[in-house]
Amino acid sequence: MPQPLISTRALNKIYRTQTGEDVVALRDVSLDIAPGAFVTVVGPSGCGKSTLLKILAGILARSSGEVSLAGRPIDGPSRNVGVVFQAPVLLPWRNVLQNVLLPIDIQRLKRADHEGRARALLKLVGLAGFENKYPSELSGGMQQRVGITRALVHDPDLLLMDEPFGALDAMTRESMNLELLRIWEESRKTVMLVTHSIPEAVFLADKVVVMSPRPGRISEIIDVDLPRPRDLGMMVTPRFGAHVAAIRAHFQSLGALDA
């Protein structure tokens, strides 16, 4: 592998609850992610997926271990990382373009230097012509696309996504998966996406990181050898089904049937 974009070694996270108990959320997580890879993370509820993403985003401190981005230790939020959460949290009084440019305004950079890229990205995600609309005028899928555009406006190398399509209906979710693959193929970002859906994890990824129930460890990393570009028809192929079945069987053997 070339120098990994993300590298973690013996990463641990222990939360102290308000009643003074320790919760081990991540134990001994060691992971390398190559530049340009699409990695998904699946695991039962509470296994530490969001915790891992937050540490990589630099918004949560680790308890011990090492974590680096492009060879540099992560010790705070980086402009080289874009983050998308389950709810896009758009500001209702800003139009689409203004929402996308929010990170630019917050950092007091010149809007004029970034507006062209923001408009080009909106076109890439299928929102050309919606620049002047307000969030309340958009569907859930469109709002999430604005969130993705906002995360990409800085041209980060890494896109972290925490259940980005969890709140969408099944059909919109499928079309967003296709859209995301197209954006990834055109922009060549490294993507790490957390999901509860095993089929979604397989459909999107080069590698699926399978986590065990709390305390979250990496149980397995599965290479997905399905060809690209992918389409929804692939989800009914035996190879796709075999990957999904293998991950399900893994969770069943751990007694984590809800994943």
Site for ligand ATP, rule CB under 6 A? 15, 17, 23, 25, 43, 45-51, 214
4 vs 48, beta carbon nearer ligand ATP: 48
Residues in Cβ contact with 113 at an 8 Å cutoff, skipping those fewer than 6 apart: 104
- The rounded distance, in Å, linking the Cα atoms of 209 and 201 is 9
CB of 15 to ligand ATP, least distance (A): 3
CB of 33 to ligand ATP, least distance (A): 18
CB of 95 to ligand ATP, least distance (A): 31
24 vs 226, beta carbon nearer ligand ATP: 24
61 vs 128, beta carbon nearer ligand ATP: 61
Residues in Cβ contact with 219 at an 8 Å cutoff, skipping those fewer than 6 apart: 210, 211, 212, 250, 254
CB of 117 to ligand ATP, least distance (A): 31
From the list 204, 134, 149, 207, the residue with the least C-alpha distance to 173 is 204
127 vs 193, beta carbon nearer ligand ATP: 193
Q: Are 220 and 211 in contact (CB under 8 A)?
A: no
Residues in Cβ contact with 233 at an 8 Å cutoff, skipping those fewer than 6 apart: none
- The rounded distance, in Å, linking the Cα atoms of 183 and 92 is 25
CB of 49 to ligand ATP, least distance (A): 4
- Report DSSP state, residue 189: -
36 vs 46, beta carbon nearer ligand ATP: 46
